[in-house]
Amino acid sequence: MNNDKVLEIKNLSMTYHTLDGETHALDDISLNINRGEIVVLVGPSGCGKSTLLSIIADLIEPSKGEVLLNNEKLKKSTKDVGYMFQKDNLFEWRTIKQNSLIGLEIQDKVTKEGKEFVEHLLDIYGLGEFKDSYPSQLSGGMRQRVALIRTLATRPNFLLLDEPFSALDYQTRLAISDEIGQILRKEKKTALMVTHDISEAISMADKVVVLSKRPGRIKDIIPIQLTCPDCDRSPMKSREAPEFKDYFNRIWKELDVHV
Amino acid sequence: MSNSNKSKEHENYIKSIKKRKRYIKTTQWLILILFFGIWEMLARCQIIDIFLTSYPSEMFDLFINFVKNGTLFEHLGISLMENVVGFLGGTILGIIIAILLWWSDFISKVLDPYLVVLNSLPKTALAPIIIIWVGAGYSGIIVTAISVSIVVTIMNVYNGFKEVDIDKIKMLQTFGATKFQILKKVILPSSVPAMINSLKINIGLSWVGVIVGEFLVSRAGIGYLIVYGGQVFQLDLVMMSVLVLAIIAALMYQGVALIEKKYMKWRQ
């Protein structure tokens, strides 16, 4: 992996203000993500993972610190960040193709090439025959795939995935995370993903970042290196690597879960 | 499931469903026929005072008469025009104001108590004032009709806007959507059901405004026929007008329901 930095987070802190008081959500977060890397964020509930993603997506302003994308400050006008949600957020009144095109419509980039690119993505990821169907006719896993294509359609440099599989049932979740993991590798995307699922984190990540309880601080950054000769880092096969359980135990300890 | 190899059991199931449907339809028609039949019979046997109640065949004769000399269409046409302008006006203005409230949180917070008061006020109480201000003619009646439906439209549509999933809005924002794009791409389309619902309710409400307006102005229209018939104790005219009104209002409601069906294919 070359050391070409795509995302640079510098001393980021975030405090929310409400009438009842203030919540310190994130504390002094610094993190770099290189081109082609998939970084997975794990941490206890309410540790500010989603806040961090919202800041990177430029939906909210941090209290302190800054985020650089390709060495530039985030600006509303340059939308280089794609965001995938826990819910697919498909519009029920639009067909699958129209849903996939919404990002291009918003950015006023619905060109012939754009349309062809979306059709191509739908075709290669098994949704070709559903282009003119409505979301209600698709299964949960397929809908989440459409959501990813909608995100990829604007060709973002950098992807944010906010627990993208947690709304799916377990089998679908395994299958779709495997598939989407491979899509991300194939399209050579740089991504930051949030999850609660430690196995999912290890199977997909180049680096796992462990956050502490609120206020969220970076507790540890664990580079994942799996000896798995011909798995090509497919998430499903990565789970068979001998180091898998060691990483699992290490992250589990770091998370310091007390029920 | 294919239709060719249905099991016996499934066939019976479908039959029983269809049978039940037929029973419901038959009973519905029976109630209507019995109602008018008994009414007619009681009138003919002079058990009820036809001076107070009129009776179906008399109403029907009057109806045919009014149709032949065109009086009915003249009055009906005027009322229909007032009603259509009224409910379309109420719905469209209501939606525009709802958009304004959605656009500016400040305006919506400021106007909230006023809307609550206006919503609980029986709008027909405003009719005399409106007719004096706007004029004792079509315009006054139309404004009365709009006033009856507009407040409830604003509240229903605005609530529909607010119920739009915040995550869907956030999704558009991650693509860099402007407020106007959010309105156009998600707020308005997902509120189409709420708007059509308002349209349906407004047909009825707008009729209230039109009839009350025509009572007050007393020049033409179905409302005028009703109030005139009442004053000269010509009950067949009153009853006939009310029946025509009921049928027209129901037909209009069905019309909107049809439009709804056509434009909501995605709802299956």
Distance from CA of A147 to the nearest CA of B (A): 10
Predicted ipTM? Answer: 0.86
Number of residues that make up chain A: 259
Q: Is the pLDDT of residue A232 over 80?
A: no
Q: Which residues contact B265 (CB under 8 A, 6 or more apart)?
A: A134
| Joined tokens for residue A31 | 């993190």
- CB–CB of A115/A105 below 8 Å? no
Strand order in the sheet with A207-211: A81-84, A158-162, A190-194, A38-42, A207-211, A218-223
Is the CB of residue A77 less than 8 Å away from at least one CB of chain B? yes
Determine whether B50 is exposed, middle or buried from the number of CB atoms within 10 Å of its CB (0-12, 13-18, 19+).
Answer: middle
- In which residue ranges of chain A is CATH 3.40.50.300 found? 5-80+157-255
Taking residue B27's Cβ as centre, other Cβ atoms within 10 Å add up to 10
Distance from CA of A23 to the nearest CA of B (A): 22
Distance CA B50, CA B254 (A): 33
Number of residues that make up chain B: 268
pLDDT in tens, B165-198: 999 999 999 898 899 999 999 999 999 888 988 8
pLDDT in tens, B212-223: 999 988 788 899
Dihedral in degrees, nearest 10, Cα atoms A229, A235, A241, A246 = 140
pLDDT in tens, A171-214: 888 888 888 888 888 888 899 999 888 888 888 889 999 988 88
Asked if the Cβ–Cβ distance from B189 to A91 is below 8 Å, we say yes
C-alpha neighbours within 13 Å on the C-beta side of residue B243? 16
Is the CB of residue A154 less than 8 Å away from at least one CB of chain B? yes
Asked if the Cβ–Cβ distance from B266 to A105 is below 8 Å, we say no
C-alpha neighbours within 13 Å on the C-beta side of residue A173? 17
Q: Residue B1: what pLDDT?
A: 47
Upstream peptide bond of A215 is cis (omega within 30 degrees of 0): yes
| Joined tokens for residue A49 | 């993972």
Asked if the Cβ–Cβ distance from B190 to A59 is below 8 Å, we say no
CATH of B59-267 among 3.40.50.1360, 1.10.3720.10, 3.40.50.2300, 1.10.1790.20: 1.10.3720.10
Backbone φ, ψ for residue A221 (5° rounding)? -120, 120
| Joined tokens for residue B69 | 């000399």
Measured between CB atoms, which of B167, B174, B189 is closest to A87? B167
Fold for A5-80+157-255, please state it: Rossmann fold (3.40.50)
Residues of A in contact with B190 (CB under 8 A): 91-93
Is the CB of residue B184 less than 8 Å away from at least one CB of chain A? no
Asked if the Cβ–Cβ distance from B174 to A57 is below 8 Å, we say yes
Which residue of A lies nearest to B166 if distances are taken between CA atoms?
Answer: A89
pTM given for the model = 0.83
Q: Residue A216: what pLDDT?
A: 84
Distance from CA of A205 to the nearest CA of B (A): 23
Distance CA B188, CA B176 (A): 18
Q: How many Å is the maximal CA-CA distance in chain B?
A: 77
DSSP helix/strand/coil, B48? coil
Asked if the Cβ–Cβ distance from B185 to A59 is below 8 Å, we say no
Among A40-54, A80-94, B205-219, where is mean pLDDT lowest?
A: A40-54
Q: Residue A1: what pLDDT?
A: 44
Beta partners for residue A81, in sequence order: A158
Measured between CB atoms, which of A79, A87, A94 is closest to B175? A79
Mean pLDDT of chain A: 86
Backbone φ, ψ for residue A61 (5° rounding)? -90, 135
pLDDT by 10s per residue, chain B, length 268: 445 567 888 889 999 999 999 999 999 999 999 999 999 999 889 888 888 888 898 889 999 999 999 888 899 999 999 999 999 999 999 999 999 999 999 999 999 999 999 999 998 899 999 999 998 888 999 999 999 999 999 999 999 999 999 999 999 998 988 999 999 999 999 998 889 888 888 998 999 999 999 998 878 889 999 999 989 888 889 999 999 999 999 999 898 888 888 877 666 4
Which residue of A lies nearest to B263 if distances are taken between CA atoms?
Answer: A93
Measured between CB atoms, which of A76, A77, A93 is closest to B266? A93
Show the 3-state SS of chain A.
Answer: CCCCEEEEEEEEEEEEEECCEEEEEEEEEEEEEECCCEEEEECCCCCCHHHHHHHHCCCCCCCEEEEEECCEECCCCCCCEEEECCCCCCCCCCCHHHHHCHHHHHCCCCCHHHHHHHHHHHHHCCCHHHCCCCHHHCCHHHHHHHHHHHHHCCCCCEEEEECCCCCCCHHHHHHHHHHHHHHHHHCCCEEEEECCCHHHHHHHCCEEEEECCCCECEEEEEECCCCCCCCCCCHHHHCCCCCHHHHHHHHHHHHCCCC
